[in-house]
Amino acid sequence: MAPPRKHSTDDILDAARALVLREGPRAASVAAISHASGAPVGTLYHRFGSRDGLLAAAWFRALERYQAVALAAVAAHSDDPVEAGVALAETVLAFAADQPEDARLLLAVRRSDLLDGDDGALRERLYRGNEPLEAALRQIARDRYGRADARALERVTRAVVDLPAAAVRRHVRGDGAPLPRWLAGDVAAAARALLRDGPSAGRRESLATPSRRSTSSRSSG
């Protein structure tokens, strides 16, 4: 059996994450992460390949932790797209409460700011990391509205991603203050209301703007 690593990957990624959140991505150099984690510079390059690879690993770890919770929540309500969406919205708040540093990393730091170099493969992997969640959003849209076109997907995304993320972003701070106890209920109620709005699956909805003539006719009638 191989001996345990002296500097665990999680400890290194925790140190990198703390630097990014405290001082910004530009401050998280390999030397700074080495100093913060106690891991030698050579160990960091050997394990992660580059500074970009190290910060991307911290991002992927946070994203994978969130997606595991989010996709399980959706699967638990696969028979009801409205409740699946509400459960997905609720996971944003639950994750922020359970893993506040990872939540701050995902909500407050742009992926592009993590990368200094021109590693196209790493950049593409960063931007494709949300594909499992995007697939879940498309399925909710199809089940709720009978289609996953741009407007249906926008409705779902606004309700279960944009709304809870904005609510959490306003409250997630570096001072360790917990989220307000009432916030989860408010977000769930708002997400449910948005998802219940609009046509049901199987009903077609006209996206055309009424002509001026037809509008005038209705007004004069």
Give the gyration radius of the chain's Cα atoms. 22
C-alpha–C-alpha distance, residues 207 and 209, integer Å = 7
The per-residue pLDDT for range 77-115, each reduced to its tens digit, is: 999 999 999 999 999 999 999 999 999 999 888 887 888
Check if the beta carbon of residue 52 is closer than 8 Å to that of residue 26: no
Q: Please, where are the H alpha helices in the chain?
A: 9-23, 30-37, 41-48, 51-75, 81-98, 100-108, 120-128, 131-145, 150-157, 163-171, 183-196, 212-220
Q: Give pLDDT, residue 199.
A: 72
Q: Using a cut of 0.85, tell me whether the model's pTM lies above it.
A: no
- Could you tell me if residue 202 is left (phi over 0), alpha (psi between -120 and 50 degrees) or otherwise beta? left
Residue 216: pLDDT over 50? no
Q: Give pLDDT, residue 174.
A: 64
Domain boundaries, the chain: 9-199
Kindly state which CATH superfamily the domain 9-199 is placed in: Tetracycline Repressor, domain 2 (1.10.357.10)
